[in-house]
Amino acid sequence: MKIASAASAFPKHYYTQKVLLERLQDFWGDRLKNPLLLARLHRNVTVDGRYLAIPAEEYVDIKTWGQANDIWIKVAQELGEQALCRALQNAGVNPEDLGCLLFTTVTGVASPSIDGMLINRMGLPANIRRTPIFGLGCVAGAAGIARASDYVRAYPKQAAALVSVELCSLTLQREDLSVANLISSGLFADGSAAVIVTGDELESSRPENSGPSILATRSVFYPDTEEMMGWNISERGFRIILSTEVPTLIRKNLGRDVDAFLADNGHQRSDLKSFVLHTGGPKVLDASADALGLHNGELDASWDCLRKVGNLSSASVLCVLEDVMKNRRPEPGTLGLLAAMGPGFCSELVLLQW
């Protein structure tokens, strides 16, 4: 099993963090009792700028969740198609070789789901196996790769595609002035990414561009941590749940779980030389670095992705993967870890060999 390619796609509306801060201060107006707090929170997330699904000035016209979700459906199809087309082209895989299409999001809903719409838009095989995934949030990029690898293990002559679209800006709650929502207004952003995973018996037309082999995967669920992260869903849409205890949970569990995962596959942490981790935010990345003992630039790809485009939820780890494959490719034979954590609370670990 091999990750044949990873590709991202973004809306055309890009704004610096400074401009977005000014827009949000206008958006909340007199409701925002402490504008300096918002500015400090935006500065602390270390994001330089972000893409938005629609022009910034149009968000004031969104009055209902239904309006926001209609925009989500439209833009999700556009970005999902762009990302998947690029991933297929980069992998040298023909659409007819796709046996499975997984779609993940946590920022909008549709039925039929976006994966079904992509089949129509792109003329994908009519017998393709569809699996829409909702609710995994930030962890879904890593989980989707793991589920794609499960599929091609069973069908080694086929390829599986994972498409993630997250339009976090469309979940912004004007009535919610909690610190969690203020942080998310500066941290989360919009974008899409796709990954192609190929079976052992499928020949790519571009083997020289192929990525790492998937050696093993693991899911870890942490009982009774539902309050850590997720949504409160009401007629107003998605209201963020974001506990300050997430970094503590990561420091407590991630290192132990990675060590156990590696030991079960005949390795130890010192064998890992490449890391593809979900961007999270500064506190999440710092906690991950502490948990894994990574303080010598091993997470630079994740930090750079956070700085350039913000936290893209499930798409973030896929964008980090794309950057590593294009610009930071390890030496052949290098062992690596791809990992993310998210609502549940849970983690997904993928052992790679480049």
**Cα dihedral sign, 298-285-103-347:** positive
Confidence label for 236 from pLDDT (cuts 50, 70 and 90) = confident
At position 64, the amino acid (one-letter code) is: T
How confident is the model at residue 32, as a pLDDT? 86
Give pLDDT tens digits for 32-82: 888 889 999 999 999 999 999 999 999 989 999 999 999 999 999 999 999
The pLDDT of residue 213 is above 80: yes
| Dist. CA 1–CA 4, nearest whole Å | 9
Angle, helices 17-28/35-44, rounded to nearest 10 degrees: 150
Instruction: Assess whether the region 2-207 and the region 211-353 belong to the same CATH fold.
Output: yes
Residue 115 pLDDT greater than 90, yes or no: yes
Q: In the prediction, which pLDDT does 222 show?
A: 96
Interval 248-259 mean pLDDT: 96
The CATH architecture assigned to 2-207 reads 3-Layer(aba) Sandwich (3.40)
Cis peptide bond upstream of 55, omega within 30: no
pTM value? Answer: 0.94
pLDDT at site 210: 77
Q: Write the DSSP assignment of 205-241 as a string of letters.
A: S-GGG---EEEEEEEEE-TT-GGGEEEEEETTEEEEE
Q: Are 277 and 302 in contact (CB under 8 A)?
A: yes
The hierarchical CATH code for the domain 211-353 is 3.40.47.10
The predicted model gives 5-24 an average pLDDT of 96
The pLDDT mean for the chain works out to 94
User: With 60 as the cut, is the pLDDT of residue 307 above it?
Assistant: yes
37 secondary structure, DSSP code: H
DSSP H or E segment with residue 105: strand 98-105
Q: How far apart are CA 253 and CA 38, in angstroms?
A: 31
Going from N- to C-terminal start, the domains of the chain cover: 2-207, 211-353
pLDDT tens-digit readout, 148-163:
999 999 999 999 999 9
120-155 pLDDT, tens per residue?
A: 999 999 999 999 999 999 999 999 999 999 999 999
pLDDT digits (tens, 9 = 90+) for 28-42: 888 888 888 999 999
* pLDDT of 205 above 60: no
Residue 204 predicted with pLDDT over 60? no
Percent of the chain whose predicted confidence (pLDDT) is above 70: 98
Q: Which of 85, 100, 138, 346 is catalytic?
A: 138
Supply the angle between the helices 17-28 and 179-187 in degrees, to the nearest 10.
Answer: 140
List Cβ neighbours of 316 (8 Å cut-off, separation of 6 or more): 138, 141, 278, 279, 280, 305, 306, 340
Question: Does residue 206 surpass a pLDDT of 60?
Answer: no
> pLDDT > 90: what percent of the chain?
85
Per-residue confidence (pLDDT) for residue 203, from 0 to 100: 63
**Beta partners for 52?**
13
The confidence score (pLDDT) of residue 50 equals 97
138 is catalytic: yes
pLDDT at residue 235 is higher than 60:
yes
pLDDT at res. 234: 86
Q: 163-191 burial string, b = 16+ CB within 10 Å, else e?
A: bbbbbbbbbbbbeeeeeebbbbbbbbbbb
pLDDT at 253 over 60: yes
Average pLDDT (207-228) is 89
Cβ-in-10-Å burial (0-12, 13-18, 19+) of 15 comes to middle
